[in-house]
Amino acid sequence: MGGKHKDVKNELHACDLSELISKSPGYRPKRGSRLFNMIESALADEYRRKLTLKALSRLSFQSISTIFGWRTESRLDQIETLLFFLERLPETKGWDIIRQSCRTLPTLSHYSISWNETQASTLAALLRDKSGLSIIQSKDSSFGYVASALGHSNSRLGRDAVPMCGIDHRSPERFVPVDGVLYLENPLEPERIRKSVLAAWPAIRNLKGHLVLLTGCLAHMHDLHRELLALTKNCHVVIAEQSGEDLAKLRNCADLPCHVVTTKQERDGRISINVQRL
């Protein structure tokens, strides 16, 4: 009986000690807001401008009050817990988990494009166009990557960046979505995509001064070719598609000069790009 009482007493002491440890200031340092502020500062350097609460809210789809809380609160329990677990792993394994959890960021400076400096600089020059038509085409899926790279690279032009919008038929599960682009996420349901495109188009067709990215949507816009070409007078419209009849029909309708960007995915992950002005 005495031994059992002793075990219970030892267990209570162990529980008390564990609670004391968990409340120790040094055991769980307050790193949440510091980490957020470091990331915010790095993003400002990357985008070449200070990011307002409104801009951070738009990027993250969180409310401004939430972003303000993350910026000012000293302890963010969810972040603290993740850091608590990650730092108990070997350094290489922890970084591997972070890399695997982050999606690919397509930019013109990514090696898949920048391996050829000439093609990267030619694409960068396209971002200086404030109006007109650019067509990105390929027989594989690389047209979508290059279109996203243009969008993300525009965001990083600082004061020279123009507002963006667009429609993309893909799901951004494996790549970072471009700010301002609507992702339809279900290419296997063409009628649903068509309805989504038609619903979004009224918000796009009268814009001015935007970079408009339309990826994989042309097959669902046959009735909108005239409006689409009219939009090129006020915006730089980038149409990214797999090579085929839909692009040929649009080019036949267009009576204005345009850039045609032909891309090809190589086996080693590089993308070969050829730009022509027609």
Domains, the chain: 31-101 (no CATH), 111-277 (3.40.50.300)
Q: Is the pLDDT at 6 greater than 70, yes or no?
A: no
Q: Name the one residue in this structure whose structure tokens are 């471009």.
A: 178
Q: Is the pLDDT at 13 greater than 80, yes or no?
A: no
pTM recorded for the entire structure: 0.86
| pLDDT tens-digit map of 43-91 | 999 999 999 999 999 999 999 999 998 888 766 888 888 888 999 999 9
Mean pLDDT over residues 159-177, rounded? 94
Q: Is the pLDDT at 2 greater than 70, yes or no?
A: no
Is 217:136 a contact under the CB 8 Å cutoff?
Answer: no
Is 32:38 a contact under the CB 8 Å cutoff?
Answer: no
Query: And the tokens for 179?
Result: 């700010």
Query: And the tokens for 35?
Result: 């980490």
* Cα separation, 149 vs 114, whole angstroms: 11
Q: Is the pLDDT at 257 greater than 90, yes or no?
A: no
Please, which residues have CB within 8 angstroms of residue 104's CB and are 6 or more apart in sequence?
A: 174, 175, 176
pLDDT at 223: 86
| pLDDT tens-digit map of 122-153 | 999 999 999 999 999 999 999 999 999 999 99
Query: And the tokens for 278?
Result: 């027609």
Is 101:52 a contact under the CB 8 Å cutoff?
Answer: no
Burial letters 47-61, b for 16+ CB under 10 A, else e = bebebeeebbbeeee
Q: Is the pLDDT at 26 greater than 70, yes or no?
A: no
pLDDT at 25: 63
**Closest CA relative to residue 87, chosen from 38, 17, 79:** 79
